[in-house]
Structure 1
């Protein structure tokens, strides 16, 4: 039952985020939408402040029975996140000055980054009930209040959004904070042990972290480019065009979550790398979601000032198609232990993607259509990179 609730909460949060963005599009000017687009980049950036230590909780806690050692891994992850949060806040304040919208979204990003560590901690211990409580109280409920506030006015939203997230987060972590004992976090007697734990956490999670950061940059660098070279108002229009892409980008991964254990098992034990049935399921589900959303948006955009952007929105939605294949290929690559090769190929593609965007400015081709076309093309190039990673590495022995 707890797993069903977890899935329902995940879909509920995604639905609320889509609704929130639809109201943004309906009511806000391009400049405000541009501010929100940049604010979301900063919000997401704080989720990487754990430097991989959060991923390590899933690796070590299930095989560690000693409660004090389990807490030790948690405290290290929280400490690393706290240090990186201070650094990221300092950088943000230097780049984005006196922008209340970005400050508000950053406060949400900080709350969610800490919540995700506690969520990973309880999930790794098998306490799904506690995980669901965290998700509901620290994410679903505050987000629901924020959507209701935005329905009334944007000013009400700006007040409710940070207050609800911060208060609910502090309410939920009050018990874990009370249980922290000074001797458990002291470095005087266990400095070497905590350093060893930190190094081991980095070693088991560094590849996953690097790949996550590369994908984060791959999905955000175009928005940074638009903001720097075309301005905040153009970024607002670009975020409208990107709505379908951003809303449906997670659909392939959600569909793959249901079948990836089978994929990993058959790659490891049967050396199977071609999954026609599974690929067809994910691909068809993604295509249906794109078609349905594009039809709905054609109607919804008529009630906004952005109806002229619909054709570009359809073009951008084509960039989701490659991810219906890479979502399965990613698990094949993991099972083949080709993560390093994937990081190298993805990094090379990211570099060429960045150069291509820069060349648009050099050649004075500064329009949203060209940027979207480059984005879609490189989404398919990323798919080719995944495919080549598998083909080149298939002859390597599989580590069981």
Structure 2
């Protein structure tokens, strides 16, 4: 019986990791289709819309991380149902506040962007279902919901943009996440109970336990995505579209470091060894460097063959690939700081580097409109973040040892 449970657990782990790789592959296909089929301005609008959608990852205001902390310790169904209900209601209500914010952010384009932020509401609720089953150690349900929340929407969107272009994409975006929500609501029967005055104390406890990770996630979102809103405001959607194409290639190559870190995450947590982390990081960066050099020569042929209208961006895309090298250190170092419980150090480092990046960005946005300068700034921010994280990890490792 024990061997059977172990096999099922491993099977679900393999399925979940497989979903991650399939999702990454489908994301690449989807973005290539968007780049190929849409004009630059439309791609800029889609880039901004997807950033709005991603913001709903934070509509729970930290409650989501509290669920991770407290659900595994619930002894009774009533207790876990109450925590789930709080997460469900709280995320739904604050998602509606997010909808209002994005509505007033750009009233003139509400008919277009509403497809993204209404999708965000459904996605934020589905996320609560995923967290519930993960915390309850129901890996089968967790993996199944992950499939409906990631793979199905991507398939819908690929078909939508391929057959019907821009409006096929935004329609399938909304329909796919509505479908995911309906699957969770009708298929996965979690009891939603009536909340009491005592539920407020539970809510405060959830918020308190998750606020640090929440703030750290917000800072990471601002660093990776928040600049797109300012670029669109100062330099326009067409410029944002070109910037989005350049950053797409960066995101594809950065997947190498993220996926490799996932494979060795367990050893990082168990060993808590800075020497082990540095060896793994140097191995990864060496591999990424070779891969980047190869891409430097192959990219012109790839772009000329698949997206010829962006051949004028080849040098900019080559330039941003330099940033992949310092970025490759970050997932492993971040995992190490998490493993030794130095999340506040990681948060401080992220706040410092993100603040410096945005201060310089504001000066740049009000000056000369230059994609090259913007890419140099992005690369410099990755090097700064890498150095600060590396130094912090080294200092923390001395104190741990």
Give me the TM-score of the superposition, normalised by structure 1: 0.89
1:297 Cα deviation (Å)? 4.2
Q: 1:373 aligns with which of 368, 371, 376?
A: 376
- Picking from 148, 167, 171, the partner of 1:137 is 148
| CA-CA distance at 1:236 after TM superposition | 0.7
Give CA deviations for 1:243-293 in whole Å, capped at 9, x if unaligned: 1112333432221112122222222xxx64553432234324544554566
Q: Determine helix, strand or coil for the equivalent of 1:219.
A: helix
1:221-260 matched pairs, under 5 angstroms: 221-260=226-265
> Given that residues 277 and 333 in structure 2 are in contact (C-alpha distance below 8 angstroms), is that contact kept between their aligned partners in structure 1?
no
1:251 and 1:113, CA in 2 relative to 1: closer, same or farther beyond 3 A? Answer: farther
- 1:170 maps to 2:196: no
Q: Which position in structure 1 is the counterpart of 2:3?
A: none
Q: CA deviation at 1:152?
A: 1.7
Question: What is residue 185 of structure 1 aligned with on the other side?
Answer: 194
More helix by share: 2
CA distance in 2, matches of 1:356, 1:81: 34
Q: What corresponds to 1:107 in structure 2?
A: 118
Name the counterpart of 2:7. none
RMSD: 2.2
**CA distance in 1: counterparts of 2:284 and 2:123, whole angstroms:** 29
Contact 1:273 1:332 in 2 (8 A): no
SS in 2 for 1:185: coil
Deviations 1:329-374 (A, max 9, x none): 1122123332212212221221111111112234x23211101110
Please state if 1:360 is matched with 2:364. Answer: yes
Deviation (angstroms), 1:382: 0.4
1:149-168 to 2 correspondences below 5 Å: 149-154=160-165, 155-168=167-180
User: Would you say 1:29 and 2:39 are equivalent positions?
Assistant: yes
Farther off after superposition, 26-35 or 67-76 = 67-76
User: In 2 relative to 1, CA 306–354 (structure 1 residues): closer, same or farther, beyond 3 Å?
Assistant: same
SS in 2 for 1:337: coil
Pair 1:275-2:290 in alignment: no
Equivalences, count: 387
Could you tell me how far apart the structure 2 residues matched to 1:170 and 1:275 are? 42
CA contact (8 A) 1:222 1:371 kept: no
The 3 A distance-change label for structure 1 pair 214 and 103 is same
Which residue in the other structure is 1:301 paired with?
303
Maintained 8 Å contact 2:274/2:397: no
Aligned to 2:52: 42
Question: What's the counterpart of residue 8 of structure 1?
Answer: 18
Unaligned runs of 5+ in 2: 1-10
Contact 1:338 1:389 (C-alpha < 8 Å) held by counterparts:
no
Q: TM-score, normalised by structure 2?
A: 0.89
Greater shift, 38-47 or 216-225, is seen at 216-225
Equivalence for 1:95:
105
Q: Does 1:61 align with 2:71?
A: yes
Contact 2:157 2:173 (C-alpha < 8 Å) held by counterparts: yes
Point out where structure 1 has 5 or more consecutive residues left out of the alignment: none
Tell me, yes or no, if structure 1 residue 78 matches structure 2 residue 82. Answer: no
Following TM superposition, the consecutive aligned residue runs of length 4 or more in structure 1 with deviations greater than 6 angstroms are: none
Which deviates the most, 244-253 or 291-300?
A: 291-300
Q: Secondary structure at 1:259's aligned position in 2?
A: helix
- In the alignment, which residue of structure 1 is the partner of 2:207? 202
| Matched residue, 1:214 | 219
Alpha-carbon distance in 2 for matches of 1:277, 1:390: 14
Q: Distance in 2 between matches of 1:186 and 1:99?
A: 34
Aligned pair partner of 2:319 in 310, 315, 320: 315
Larger mean Cα displacement after TM superposition, 125-134 or 161-170: 161-170
